[in-house]
Structure 1
């Protein structure tokens, strides 16, 4: 049964909800709003860390609705950012999380969030695209991704 009457809308809402639900499950989090905001924050941080072309390739792999949030606020002329360490990258993710969840305790650890999002991405995005993403990152950042896509 169609929720909105247009199949393309229904499909992107359903697929985006699946992504959010998978992130929530990975985080053992019941609050899907927080899971969504964490997913959004992590996608923004990884998008900003990649060159413009590769960031656009990643955006093309996302459900249409999620891609809209992915591109929200993007300033391609300011990318890629230069975080070379896990700590610096996770600090960027945390900054985004605090922008979207105005609470000192978002309900998850930032490293746990990044790893959860990257696991969901690796399950839902073709392996070749995931390898393209990880090949652009410094070794320390690659460690946040599942081993299967780091090779």
Structure 2
């Protein structure tokens, strides 16, 4: 029976390792989020959905106090959470975005050049996705800490 391993058995065994299953689950869950965002915003592909999700999450994160941002981040799927925290610096937070236009400008700065949709529509679509996917009570806590004009962007 020799001492060599059958690669198929090794691969099958890896799928049963809890850490690998966790990664598989978060990849699948993130793909579901991106697919839903493609549908909500009528985008052409998941890359545009990724850019939208990233831009709005960063603008929202930067508008919250660090404690609120961490609390909100804990609600996100693991892979989306990594995207959310990417490049975060707590200094100078929260930003002073108080109007819808200021927030939309913040989102626009995060979107790639020549993005196929305006930042306000993108924001509303991502907020709708978050409202549908996250616990309503937790979402309400975040919304309550936003200035009144920004609350109107949520469904």
TM-score by length of 2: 0.86
TM-superposed deviation, 1:109 = 1.8
Matched, 1:132 2:141: yes
Which residue does 1:75 correspond to in 2? 89
2:119 to 110, 113, 135: 110
Matched, 1:121 2:135: no
Which residue does 1:17 correspond to in 2? 31
> What whole-Å deviation, never above 9, does each CA across 1:43-72 have from its counterpart, x for those lacking one?
000000001111111111111011111001
Partners of 1:40 and 1:138 lie apart in 2 by 21
Which residue does 2:70 correspond to in 1? 56
Which residue does 2:61 correspond to in 1? 47
Partners of 1:8 and 1:96 lie apart in 2 by 29
Which residue does 2:44 correspond to in 1? 30
Please provide the CA RMSD for this pair. Answer: 1.3
Partners of 1:53 and 1:128 lie apart in 2 by 17
1:88 to 102, 115, 122: 102
Three-state SS of the structure 2 residue aligned to 1:108 is coil
> What whole-Å deviation, never above 9, does each CA across 1:34-93 have from its counterpart, x for those lacking one?
110110010000000001111111111111011111001101122111101000000000
What are the ranges of 5 or more consecutive residues in structure 1 without an aligned counterpart?
147-151
Aligned residues between the structures: 139
Partners of 1:58 and 1:18 lie apart in 2 by 20
Larger Rg: 2
